[in-house]
Protein backbone atom coordinates (compact mmCIF):
# COMPACT_ATOMS: atom_id res chain seq x y z
CA UNK A 1 0.00 0.00 0.00
CA UNK A 2 1.55 3.26 -1.20
CA UNK A 3 1.17 6.50 0.72
CA UNK A 4 -0.75 9.43 -0.69
CA UNK A 5 0.46 13.02 -0.55
CA UNK A 6 -2.54 15.43 -0.84
CA UNK A 7 -0.18 18.27 -1.75
CA UNK A 8 1.23 16.38 -4.71
CA UNK A 9 -2.25 15.58 -6.02
CA UNK A 10 -3.23 19.25 -5.82
CA UNK A 11 -0.16 20.31 -7.83
CA UNK A 12 -0.81 17.62 -10.47
CA UNK A 13 -4.44 18.71 -10.91
CA UNK A 14 -3.45 22.35 -11.21
CA UNK A 15 -0.91 21.57 -13.97
CA UNK A 16 -3.43 19.46 -15.93
CA UNK A 17 -6.11 22.14 -15.66
CA UNK A 18 -3.61 24.78 -16.86
CA UNK A 19 -2.79 22.67 -19.97
CA UNK A 20 -6.41 21.82 -20.88
CA UNK A 21 -8.25 25.00 -19.93
CA UNK A 22 -7.05 27.19 -22.91
CA UNK A 23 -8.40 24.59 -25.36
CA UNK A 24 -11.76 24.61 -23.58
CA UNK A 25 -11.80 28.38 -23.71
CA UNK A 26 -11.13 28.18 -27.44
CA UNK A 27 -14.06 25.79 -27.90
CA UNK A 28 -16.34 28.07 -25.89
CA UNK A 29 -15.23 30.98 -28.11
CA UNK A 30 -16.30 29.07 -31.28
CA UNK A 31 -12.77 27.97 -32.27
CA UNK A 32 -11.11 24.59 -32.28
CA UNK A 33 -7.65 23.86 -30.90
CA UNK A 34 -5.05 23.70 -33.65
CA UNK A 35 -3.82 20.25 -34.55
CA UNK A 36 -0.64 20.16 -36.68
CA UNK A 37 -1.37 19.33 -40.35
CA UNK A 38 -5.08 20.28 -40.22
CA UNK A 39 -6.83 23.50 -41.21
CA UNK A 40 -9.92 24.70 -39.31
CA UNK A 41 -12.42 27.23 -40.61
CA UNK A 42 -15.47 28.48 -38.75
CA UNK A 43 -15.30 25.68 -36.20
CA UNK A 44 -15.30 23.03 -38.95
CA UNK A 45 -12.43 20.79 -39.93
CA UNK A 46 -11.34 21.50 -43.56
CA UNK A 47 -9.09 19.58 -45.96
CA UNK A 48 -5.33 20.03 -46.18
CA UNK A 49 -3.89 22.75 -48.43
CA UNK A 50 -1.94 21.50 -51.44
CA UNK A 51 0.20 23.53 -53.82
CA UNK A 52 -0.59 22.75 -57.46
CA UNK A 53 2.31 23.71 -59.71
CA UNK A 54 2.12 24.00 -63.49
CA UNK A 55 5.47 23.13 -65.07
CA UNK A 56 6.57 22.76 -68.66
CA UNK A 57 6.52 18.96 -68.35
CA UNK A 58 3.40 18.41 -66.27
CA UNK A 59 1.46 19.34 -63.16
CA UNK A 60 2.89 18.67 -59.69
CA UNK A 61 0.84 18.54 -56.50
CA UNK A 62 2.93 19.38 -53.45
CA UNK A 63 2.17 18.53 -49.84
CA UNK A 64 4.50 20.96 -48.15
CA UNK A 65 7.89 20.35 -49.77
CA UNK A 66 7.11 16.81 -50.90
CA UNK A 67 5.53 15.64 -54.14
CA UNK A 68 2.10 14.21 -53.37
CA UNK A 69 1.14 13.46 -56.98
CA UNK A 70 2.52 14.23 -60.43
CA UNK A 71 0.62 14.37 -63.72
CA UNK A 72 3.07 14.19 -66.63
CA UNK A 73 2.18 15.66 -70.03
CA UNK A 74 2.13 13.31 -72.99
CA UNK A 75 2.68 16.12 -75.50
CA UNK A 76 4.25 18.80 -73.33
CA UNK A 77 3.83 21.78 -75.66
CA UNK A 78 0.25 21.16 -76.73
CA UNK A 79 -1.00 20.24 -73.24
CA UNK A 80 0.80 23.19 -71.63
CA UNK A 81 -0.73 25.56 -74.20
CA UNK A 82 -4.16 24.01 -73.65
CA UNK A 83 -3.95 24.91 -69.95
CA UNK A 84 -2.70 28.42 -70.72
CA UNK A 85 -5.63 28.87 -73.11
CA UNK A 86 -8.02 27.48 -70.47
CA UNK A 87 -9.32 24.66 -72.63
CA UNK A 88 -7.53 21.67 -71.11
CA UNK A 89 -9.19 18.56 -69.70
CA UNK A 90 -7.87 18.21 -66.13
CA UNK A 91 -10.38 15.63 -64.92
CA UNK A 92 -7.79 13.39 -63.27
CA UNK A 93 -6.31 16.31 -61.33
CA UNK A 94 -9.77 17.53 -60.29
CA UNK A 95 -10.64 14.05 -59.01
CA UNK A 96 -7.45 13.96 -56.94
CA UNK A 97 -8.15 17.39 -55.42
CA UNK A 98 -11.88 16.81 -54.89
CA UNK A 99 -11.61 16.81 -51.08
CA UNK A 100 -8.68 19.17 -50.78
CA UNK A 101 -8.00 22.88 -50.85
CA UNK A 102 -5.40 24.08 -53.32
CA UNK A 103 -3.13 26.98 -54.17
CA UNK A 104 -2.18 27.21 -57.85
CA UNK A 105 1.01 28.58 -59.35
CA UNK A 106 -0.75 29.69 -62.55
CA UNK A 107 -3.83 31.85 -63.10
CA UNK A 108 -5.18 29.70 -65.94
CA UNK A 109 -4.76 26.54 -63.89
CA UNK A 110 -6.59 28.21 -61.00
CA UNK A 111 -9.42 29.13 -63.39
CA UNK A 112 -9.77 25.54 -64.63
CA UNK A 113 -9.81 24.14 -61.09
CA UNK A 114 -12.38 26.64 -59.83
CA UNK A 115 -14.50 25.91 -62.90
CA UNK A 116 -14.66 22.32 -61.63
CA UNK A 117 -15.56 23.50 -58.12
CA UNK A 118 -12.15 22.91 -56.56
CA UNK A 119 -11.48 25.57 -53.91
CA UNK A 120 -8.30 27.17 -55.14
CA UNK A 121 -6.38 30.39 -54.57
CA UNK A 122 -3.30 31.79 -56.26
CA UNK A 123 0.05 31.18 -54.57
CA UNK A 124 1.58 34.35 -53.15
CA UNK A 125 4.80 35.97 -54.37
CA UNK A 126 7.03 34.25 -51.81
CA UNK A 127 5.60 30.83 -52.65
CA UNK A 128 6.05 31.40 -56.37
CA UNK A 129 9.65 32.53 -55.86
CA UNK A 130 10.44 29.31 -53.99
CA UNK A 131 8.88 27.30 -56.82
CA UNK A 132 10.99 29.11 -59.43
CA UNK A 133 14.17 28.66 -57.41
CA UNK A 134 13.74 24.88 -57.14
CA UNK A 135 12.11 24.18 -60.50
CA UNK A 136 14.69 21.74 -61.88
CA UNK A 137 14.90 19.71 -58.69
CA UNK A 138 11.11 19.71 -58.50
CA UNK A 139 10.95 18.14 -61.96
CA UNK A 140 13.38 15.45 -60.84
CA UNK A 141 11.44 14.75 -57.63
CA UNK A 142 8.22 14.45 -59.61
CA UNK A 143 9.76 11.88 -61.93
CA UNK A 144 9.64 14.14 -64.98
CA UNK A 145 13.45 14.01 -65.34
CA UNK A 146 16.19 11.63 -64.20
CA UNK A 147 18.45 14.39 -62.86
CA UNK A 148 18.91 18.15 -63.06
CA UNK A 149 20.91 17.92 -66.29
CA UNK A 150 18.09 15.90 -67.88
CA UNK A 151 15.58 18.43 -66.53
CA UNK A 152 17.51 21.31 -68.08
CA UNK A 153 17.69 19.51 -71.43
CA UNK A 154 13.95 18.82 -71.38
CA UNK A 155 13.22 22.43 -70.51
CA UNK A 156 15.38 23.58 -73.42
CA UNK A 157 13.60 21.19 -75.77
CA UNK A 158 10.24 22.42 -74.49
CA UNK A 159 11.23 26.06 -75.07
CA UNK A 160 12.15 25.32 -78.69
CA UNK A 161 8.92 23.41 -79.25
CA UNK A 162 6.83 26.19 -77.71
CA UNK A 163 8.52 28.84 -79.85
CA UNK A 164 7.91 26.78 -82.97
CA UNK A 165 4.25 26.23 -82.04
CA UNK A 166 3.68 29.95 -81.39
CA UNK A 167 5.29 30.89 -84.69
CA UNK A 168 3.03 28.40 -86.46
CA UNK A 169 0.01 29.75 -84.60
CA UNK A 170 0.82 33.33 -85.48
CA UNK A 171 1.47 32.47 -89.13
CA UNK A 172 -2.08 31.11 -89.36
CA UNK A 173 -3.63 34.34 -88.11
CA UNK A 174 -6.21 35.62 -90.64
CA UNK A 175 -5.24 39.23 -89.90
CA UNK A 176 -1.62 38.59 -90.83
CA UNK A 177 -2.68 36.95 -94.09
CA UNK A 178 -4.81 39.98 -94.94
CA UNK A 179 -1.85 42.26 -94.20
CA UNK A 180 0.31 40.22 -96.56
CA UNK A 181 -2.36 40.30 -99.27
CA UNK A 182 -2.68 44.08 -99.01
CA UNK A 183 1.09 44.45 -99.24
CA UNK A 184 1.21 42.15 -102.27
CA UNK A 185 -1.60 44.12 -103.91
CA UNK A 186 0.41 47.32 -103.60
CA UNK A 187 3.47 45.67 -105.13
CA UNK A 188 1.45 44.17 -108.00
CA UNK A 189 -0.01 47.59 -108.77
CA UNK A 190 3.45 49.15 -108.86
CA UNK A 191 4.81 46.47 -111.21
CA UNK A 192 1.72 46.58 -113.46
CA UNK A 193 1.85 50.37 -113.72
CA UNK A 194 5.55 50.42 -114.62
CA UNK A 195 5.18 47.57 -117.12
CA UNK A 196 2.02 49.11 -118.60
CA UNK A 197 3.65 52.51 -119.04
CA UNK A 198 6.67 50.98 -120.77
CA UNK A 199 4.42 48.85 -123.03
CA UNK A 200 2.35 51.87 -124.10
CA UNK A 201 5.45 53.94 -124.85
CA UNK A 202 7.08 51.17 -126.87
CA UNK A 203 4.02 50.08 -128.87
CA UNK A 204 3.07 53.76 -129.19
CA UNK A 205 6.07 54.24 -131.47
CA UNK A 206 4.28 51.87 -133.87
CA UNK A 207 0.65 53.01 -133.26
CA UNK A 208 0.72 56.39 -131.42
CA UNK A 209 -2.96 57.21 -132.04
CA UNK A 210 -4.03 54.22 -129.89
CA UNK A 211 -2.87 55.83 -126.65
CA UNK A 212 -5.43 58.67 -126.88
CA UNK A 213 -8.36 56.31 -127.49
CA UNK A 214 -7.84 53.45 -124.99
CA UNK A 215 -7.97 54.34 -121.32
CA UNK A 216 -7.64 50.95 -119.68
CA UNK A 217 -4.26 49.26 -119.46
CA UNK A 218 -5.80 45.81 -119.94
CA UNK A 219 -7.62 46.87 -123.12
CA UNK A 220 -4.38 48.28 -124.50
CA UNK A 221 -2.52 45.05 -123.67
CA UNK A 222 -5.10 42.93 -125.53
CA UNK A 223 -4.65 45.06 -128.65
CA UNK A 224 -0.86 44.70 -128.41
CA UNK A 225 -1.19 40.92 -128.26
CA UNK A 226 -3.04 41.00 -131.60
CA UNK A 227 0.14 42.20 -133.34
CA UNK A 228 1.00 44.99 -135.76
CA UNK A 229 -1.54 47.74 -136.47
CA UNK A 230 -2.26 46.45 -140.01
CA UNK A 231 -3.50 43.14 -138.50
CA UNK A 232 -5.95 44.76 -136.09
CA UNK A 233 -9.59 44.02 -136.94
CA UNK A 234 -12.96 45.01 -135.50
CA UNK A 235 -13.05 41.63 -133.74
CA UNK A 236 -9.77 42.40 -132.00
CA UNK A 237 -11.13 45.70 -130.71
CA UNK A 238 -14.40 44.09 -129.58
CA UNK A 239 -12.57 41.37 -127.66
CA UNK A 240 -10.51 44.10 -126.02
CA UNK A 241 -13.74 45.69 -124.80
CA UNK A 242 -13.60 48.47 -127.37
CA UNK A 243 -16.54 47.50 -129.57
CA UNK A 244 -18.00 51.03 -129.55
CA UNK A 245 -14.71 52.43 -130.85
CA UNK A 246 -13.91 49.59 -133.26
CA UNK A 247 -14.71 51.49 -136.47
CA UNK A 248 -12.76 54.57 -135.40
CA UNK A 249 -9.77 52.49 -134.35
CA UNK A 250 -9.78 50.71 -137.70
CA UNK A 251 -9.56 54.06 -139.48
CA UNK A 252 -6.78 55.26 -137.16
CA UNK A 253 -4.80 52.08 -137.74
CA UNK A 254 -4.96 52.46 -141.50
CA UNK A 255 -3.88 56.11 -141.38
CA UNK A 256 -1.41 55.88 -138.48
CA UNK A 257 1.76 57.94 -138.67
CA UNK A 258 3.67 55.48 -136.50
CA UNK A 259 6.77 53.72 -137.68
CA UNK A 260 7.34 50.02 -138.31
CA UNK A 261 8.15 47.61 -135.45
CA UNK A 262 10.65 44.79 -135.76
CA UNK A 263 9.73 41.19 -135.02
CA UNK A 264 12.05 41.15 -132.00
CA UNK A 265 10.57 44.34 -130.57
CA UNK A 266 7.03 43.09 -131.15
CA UNK A 267 7.76 39.84 -129.32
CA UNK A 268 9.17 41.78 -126.34
CA UNK A 269 6.26 44.23 -126.16
CA UNK A 270 3.76 41.37 -126.42
CA UNK A 271 5.54 39.64 -123.55
CA UNK A 272 5.09 42.81 -121.50
CA UNK A 273 1.40 42.86 -122.47
CA UNK A 274 1.01 39.31 -121.15
CA UNK A 275 2.64 40.35 -117.87
CA UNK A 276 0.21 43.27 -117.57
CA UNK A 277 -2.78 40.94 -118.04
CA UNK A 278 -1.35 38.39 -115.57
CA UNK A 279 -0.84 41.17 -113.05
CA UNK A 280 -4.44 42.25 -113.51
CA UNK A 281 -5.61 38.67 -112.90
CA UNK A 282 -3.42 38.38 -109.80
CA UNK A 283 -4.75 41.69 -108.52
CA UNK A 284 -8.33 40.41 -108.75
CA UNK A 285 -7.38 37.28 -106.79
CA UNK A 286 -5.72 39.35 -104.08
CA UNK A 287 -8.74 41.61 -103.76
CA UNK A 288 -10.96 38.55 -103.37
CA UNK A 289 -8.61 37.22 -100.69
CA UNK A 290 -8.78 40.49 -98.77
CA UNK A 291 -12.56 40.80 -98.88
CA UNK A 292 -13.30 37.10 -98.22
Mean pLDDT score across all residues of the chain: 82
Domains with residue ranges and CATH for the chain: 44-160 (3.30.420.220), 176-291 (1.10.287.4070)
In the predicted structure, residue 61 carries a pLDDT above the cut 50: yes
Q: Minimal CA–CA distance to 212: which of 188, 248, 166?
A: 248
User: Number of C-alpha atoms within 13 angstroms, CB side, residue 285?
Assistant: 8
d(C-alpha 132, C-alpha 215), whole Å: 69
Burial class (CB in 10 A: 0-12, 13-18, 19+), 116: middle
pLDDT digits (tens, 9 = 90+) for 173-193: 677 778 888 888 889 989 889
Confidence bin at 147 (pLDDT 50/70/90): very high
- Which pLDDT belongs to residue 171? 63
Task: Extract the runs of DSSP E, i.e. beta strands, from the chain.
Answer: 39-41, 44-46, 49-54, 58-63, 66-72, 101-104, 120-122
Identify whether the C-beta of residue 50 lies closer than 8 Å to the C-beta of residue 102. Answer: yes
CB-based burial of residue 158 (10 Å sphere; 0-12 exposed, 13-18 middle, 19+ buried)? middle
What pLDDT is attached to residue 3? 47
Q: With beta carbons less than 8 A apart as the criterion, state whether 120 and 42 touch.
A: no
**pLDDT for 56 beyond 80:** yes
Quick one: pLDDT band at residue 274, thresholds 50, 70, 90? very high
Compute the distance between CA of residue 108 and CA of residue 161 in angstroms, rounded to an integer. Answer: 20
Answer for the pair 242, 215: CB distance below 8 angstroms, yes or no.
no
User: What are the tens digits of pLDDT across the range 204-231?
Assistant: 999 898 888 888 899 899 999 989 988 8
Task: Give the DSSP per-residue string, 118-157.
Answer: --EEE--HHHHHHHHHTHHHHHHHTTS-SSHHHHHHHHHH
Amino acid sequence: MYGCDPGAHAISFAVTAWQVWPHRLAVFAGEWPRIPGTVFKGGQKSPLMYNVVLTELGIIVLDGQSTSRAFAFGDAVSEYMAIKERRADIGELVEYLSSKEAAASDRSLQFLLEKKYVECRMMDADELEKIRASRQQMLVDAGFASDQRDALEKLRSFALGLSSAKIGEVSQSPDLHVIQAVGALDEVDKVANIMGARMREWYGLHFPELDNVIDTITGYAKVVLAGRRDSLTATVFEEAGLGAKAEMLGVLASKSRGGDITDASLVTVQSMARQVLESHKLRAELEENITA
